[in-house]
Structure 1
Amino acid sequence: MQLDKAKKRIAKQVNKGFDGYPQITLAYFGTTADCATEVVVGFIAEEGAEVQEQRFTSSSGDVRQDEAIQSVLVKIIERANARTVTEIVQ
């Protein structure tokens, strides 16, 4: 999947806002706001359920510009049938 296409699909899900569960949270971490070297994907199946997390890191730069990682995030969102996707940049 192309990087731009993956980013647009994720942005479309994020822009829909809260629509119930299951919920996916994408938390980007890095040394600066401009370069996120890690993304933590949180999955919540239902209200009150424990969060399941998976981490992806990039040693070559920003994970938001890594086509492979962005494509994996899209697949995770699709396979989880996520109704809500939120994005956090730290």
Structure 2
Amino acid sequence: MKKIRKRSASWLAKNARRGFRGYPIATVALYGPTADLATKIAVSVIPDERKPPDVLERWFSEDIDVRRDPVVGEQIQAFLRQHKARSVVVIDRVIGCPHEEGIDYPEDHSCPHCPYWAGRDRFTHERIH
């Protein structure tokens, strides 16, 4: 009998598990309307320790968690190969709303589309207000 596995973000975990292998380093951050659903993933590439990120790409999903979307996974893998990322750093949780302050809603305000994040710490997810 064939064992059925839950589809995971194995491409993400596999890259992060490898540890530091030198520059360029890719950073991967997850965003979503709540702590449980990632609808945006942002990947940047840092060419070396003296330079800021030189490329940034974002992927979005409306109906599936981007961590589990095989199409997004393949596109990110291609992006990492294209930019010759030797190391990948992945945040282990959703760290905020997928909307951008100053672009999607006014600066110094909470996102009107993602009330979960209003008054909440992006990293611990605990209430701060």
TM category, shorter: 0.7 to 0.9
Contact 1:10 1:74 in 2 (8 A): no
* CA distance in structure 2 between the aligned counterparts of 1:59 and 1:36, rounded to whole angstroms: 10
Q: 2:13 aligns with which of 11, 14, 31?
A: 11
Structure 1 residue 26: Cα displacement: 0.9
Higher helix proportion (structure 1 or 2): 1
* CA distance in structure 2 between the aligned counterparts of 1:73 and 1:30, rounded to whole angstroms: 18
Name the % identity: 33
**Secondary structure of the residue that 1:32 maps to in structure 2?**
coil
Alignment-derived partner of residue 88 in structure 2: 85
Unaligned runs of 5+ residues in structure 1 are none
Structure 1 residue 67: Cα displacement: 1.5
* CA distance in structure 1 between the aligned counterparts of 2:39 and 2:47, rounded to whole angstroms: 26
Higher strand proportion (structure 1 or 2): 1
Contact 2:42 2:58 in 1 (8 A): yes
Alignment-derived partner of residue 113 in structure 2: none
Q: TM-score, normalised by structure 1?
A: 0.82
- Count of aligned positions: 86
The structure 1 segments of at least 4 consecutive aligned residues displaced by more than 4 Å after TM superposition are none
* CA distance in structure 1 between the aligned counterparts of 2:12 and 2:39, rounded to whole angstroms: 18
Bigger relative contact order, structure 1 or 2 (CA pairs below 8 A, ≥6 apart): 1
Q: 2:74 aligns with which of 67, 71, 75?
A: 71
**Secondary structure of the residue that 1:70 maps to in structure 2?**
helix
